[in-house]
Amino acid sequence: MTRRARPLRFSCALWLWLALSWAWSGASAAEAPAPGVPPLVQVGDLAEVSLAERSLYWIDESGTLSADQVEAQAPELPWRLRRRENQRAPVGALWIVFETATPAGLPWFLEVASSVNDHLELHYRNREGRWVVQHAGTGVEVSQWPVPGRLPTFKLSPGGGEPVRYWLRVMDSHGDFAAPLAVVRQDAMQVRRERAQFVLGCYFGVLALVALASFINAVAFRDRASAMFAVCILLLGLGQLGRSGLGGQHVWPESSAWNEAVLELWPGAGVAAGLWLVKLLTDPARLSRALDLGVWALIAALLGATAVHVAIDNAASLTLVLTLTGLALVAVLSMVLWGWIAGKERHLRLVAAAFVPVAVLAVFPLGRDLGLAPANMLTRFGLYIGALLALPILYYAVNMRLMARREAELRASTLVRADPLTGLPHRQAMTERLDSSLAHARTQKQNCALLCIRLSNLDAIGEEFGREAVDKALVVTASHLRRLSVGYDMSARVGPREFALLMEAPTTREAATSRAQQFVASGLRDVPALPGVTLRYHVTWTLLPRAQLDGAATVQWAVDGLDQITPETRKAIRALDVVEEGALRQA
């Protein structure tokens, strides 16, 4: 199998699975009606009992029937056995009926394993025959729920062993109700809630840390990709706060409007930000101008559809957002696969590796929301798992891209202030540094030193060995100079064959003399790059600061001093301050 054929076959298999799931879902929905009396849910010694295949459902398309009316007409209504598939009710209300007898002792609850439905009502008759009604859902403040928490939870009738029939009414203009239902004992529910809080707390803690680190990188380095990555994580976190129910439980328990707004922004705004991030990382304009414009158009369409959905909030607007989300996933896959195959930069391959689990696992909840797949673990938590797998890889990829850019910028700025042949700073850089060092030395009343070196036999090397040997001799000289630099010392190339070494304060005459002697001796050693060549150096040195001399004047004075060392001069090292003092004494 070729590499190009593998993604194609995998894609075909994935879409075949979705098609079969859709067909299975349709076949399940077409089952014969069930009797109007639900089976009795036997609790026994169990702490939790699922209501899958133990409850019935019916869709009231008018949405006007009350619990009294549904109870009275129950024997004639076309009830169906509720499995794990979606029950679609784009208009009206969905009624679910079940019957159970809970034992005396600990309280029992009905838990709805989804926090994204607008309004849920649980009805049952107490021992006096009066209706007990409880409300929950995103349209109700969590503080007003019968059991405040992450998931809608309803109190069941106090246990006594008598069977009680419960009627759950679901009203959600967005369409599906795919949440598993379970009858849970209080102790089991408490344990499960604590585990879920711990896992989700860790998950959102990781999101917060990565978002904060990305935001700091964006501000510190002015990096758009890091900023967009932080925005993506923020939108992902807000969306999943709403979908997981933690937002309503802890962040905005007194405001259902915030919960609804966050749910309406997801997934459109988050996917648009993710698409923008991938565009920044892969730069599709390098491949095709049309592809780049198409991605911009898709981002604008997603944001526009999200704005429409926030404004009108119905099933049609949600379907539009989900359809564009599917197209965005295709665009993301296309760009990251192109980055994987054609990208020479390492971060592109990491981006591709990071988005593969997100794009693949996001298909499952998207298929459920569109009614193409039944509810299961992957359709409910696929995006959480994909994001958890992708975040560390994507963060590393964004930082790798940032560090590569910073390194390129530093190299470019260094080249502006450095000699291209030797890599040493040029004369202007040495002058600026020397000005700072002189000011520091005068303030601290200490001495620094400047050594100026000339490769005196460079012309002879060129005549005998050629231009290449001249360049090698200069590079070797720079190498010797770097080895002699200690701590905060600075070396630079200050002329065609002249170099300088600044020894920072505090230093002494003996240290400067020793450094000059070491440098002259380094030229007498054999160098593998220049076999048979001896490098002869002339060196001038002086202790600083000198009165009335700034950095530029000091460098020029040291270079001019080299002209006084002629081939007839026996010594290759000349102390400028000693010469100056001798001249003053003679005068």
SS (H, E, C) 25-82: HHHHHCCCCCCCCCCEECCCCCCEEECCCCCEEEEECCCCCCHHHHHHHHHHCCCEEC
pLDDT, residue 6, reads: 43
Please say whether the beta carbons of 442 and 545 come within 8 A: yes
Q: Are 69 and 176 found together in one domain? A: yes
Residue 457 sits in the same domain as residue 557: yes
For 368-403, the pLDDT digits (tens) are 655 566 556 676 667 777 777 888 888 888 888 788
Mean predicted confidence (pLDDT) in 511-523 = 91
Q: Could you give the CA distance from residue 15 to residue 474 in angstroms, rounded to a whole number?
A: 66
The DSSP output letter for 418 is B
Query: Is 134 in the same domain as 219?
Result: no
Determine, yes or no, domain membership for 79: yes
Q: Could you tell me which residues come within 8 angstroms of residue 305 by beta carbon, excluding any fewer than 6 positions away?
A: 268, 317, 320, 321, 324
Residues 407 and 479 in one domain: no
36-50, 332-346, 482-496: range with highest mean pLDDT? 482-496
- Paired sense of beta strands 164-171 and 181-185, if any: unpaired
**pLDDT at residue 404 greater than cutoff 80:** no
Question: Measured between alpha carbons, how far is 529 from 463 in angstroms, rounded to an integer?
Answer: 17
- How many domains is the chain built from? 3
According to the model, what pLDDT value does residue 436 have? 92
Q: Residue with structure tokens 């009165």?
A: 547
Q: Which two tokens stand for residue 199?
A: 């896992």
Give residue-wise pLDDT tens across range 445-499. 999 999 999 999 998 888 888 899 999 999 999 999 998 888 889 999 999 999 9
Cis peptide before 545 (omega within 30 of 0): yes
Which residue did the predictor score with more confidence, 375 or 28?
A: 375
Q: With contact defined as beta carbons under 8 Å apart, do 145 and 133 qualify? A: no
Higher pLDDT, 231 or 377: 231
Q: What is the band of 175 on the pLDDT scale with cuts at 50, 70, 90?
A: low
Is residue 18 one of the residues assigned to a domain? no
User: Side chain identity at 245, as an amino acid letter?
Assistant: G
CATH of the domain at 102: 2.60.40.2380
In which band, very low, low, confident or very high, does the pLDDT at 517 lie, cut at 50, 70 and 90? very high
pLDDT at 98: 93
Which percentage of the chain shows pLDDT scores above 70?
83
What mean pLDDT do residues 121-136 have? 93
Q: What SS3 state is found at 425? A: strand
Sequence-distant (≥ 6) Cβ neighbours of residue 268 within 8 angstroms: 302, 303, 305, 306, 309, 321, 324, 325
Among the three residues 189, 218, 245, which one is the final residue of a domain in this structure? 189
Q: Are 229 and 394 in contact (CB under 8 A)?
A: yes
Is 145 within the bounds of a domain? yes
> Lowest-confidence range among 221-225, 240-244, 351-355?
351-355
pLDDT of 561 above 70 = yes
Does 432 lie in the same domain as 404? no
Confidence at residue 155, expressed as pLDDT on a 0 to 100 scale: 94
| Structural domain range at position 150 | 35-189
8-state DSSP, 530? B
- Residue bearing the bigger pLDDT, 295 or 500: 500
Q: Based on the domain organization, do 142 and 225 belong to the same domain?
A: no
Q: Please, what is the end-to-end C-alpha distance for the chain in angstroms? A: 93
The residues near 146 (Cβ < 8 Å, ≥ 6 apart) are 122, 134, 135, 136, 153, 154, 155
Please give the Cα distance from 24 to 249 (Å, whole number): 36
Specify the DSSP class assigned to residue 146: S
**Six-digit token string for 587:** 């005068």
Greater confidence (16 vs 355) lies with 355
Q: Does one domain contain both 142 and 291?
A: no
Res 366 pLDDT > 90: no
| Out of 32-36, 43-47, 317-321, 541-545, least confident range | 32-36
SS3 110: strand
- The Cβ of residue 238 has, within 10 Å, a number of other Cβ atoms equal to 21
**H/E stretch holding 310:** helix 289-312
The answer as to whether 25 is a domain residue is no
Helix (H, G, I), strand (E, B) or coil at 272: helix
The overall average pLDDT reported for the chain is 81
Q: What is the CATH number of the domain that holds 261?
A: 1.20.1070
Q: Pull the structure tokens for residue 586.
A: 């003679």
Q: What are phi and psi of 168, to 5 degrees?
A: -105, 120
Query: Is residue 321 exposed (0-12), middle (13-18) or buried (19+ Cβ within 10 Å)?
Result: buried
Higher pLDDT, 530 or 98: 98
- DSSP label at residue 505: S
Q: How many CB atoms lie within 10 A of CB 551?
A: 22
Query: Looking at the domain assignment, is residue 22 inside a domain?
Result: no
- Percent of the chain with pLDDT strictly greater than 90: 25
Q: How many Å is the Cα radius of gyration of the chain?
A: 39
Q: What are the pLDDT digits (tens) for 248-286?
A: 777 877 776 777 777 777 777 888 888 888 888 777 777
Does pLDDT of 420 surpass 70?
yes
Quick one: tokens of 260? 């609804």
- Does residue 213 share a domain with residue 120? no
pLDDT of residue 403: 80
240 and 379 housed in the same domain: yes
Q: What is the pLDDT of residue 450?
A: 95
- With CA atoms as reference, report the closest residue to 576 among 562, 567, 566: 562
Structural domain contains residue 106: yes
Contact 581, 542 (CB under 8 A): no
Q: Is the pTM of this model over 0.85?
A: no
Average pLDDT over residues 146-152: 90
CA distances from 313 to 62, 145, 152, 319 (A): 19, 23, 21, 11
Q: How high is the pLDDT of residue 3?
A: 39
Q: Which of the two residues, 380 and 312, has the higher pLDDT score?
A: 312
Are 402 and 221 in contact by the 8 Å Cβ rule? The answer is yes
Omega cis (within 30) before 267:
yes
Q: Is the pLDDT confidence value at 512 over 90?
A: yes
Q: At which of 160, 189, 218 does a domain end?
A: 189
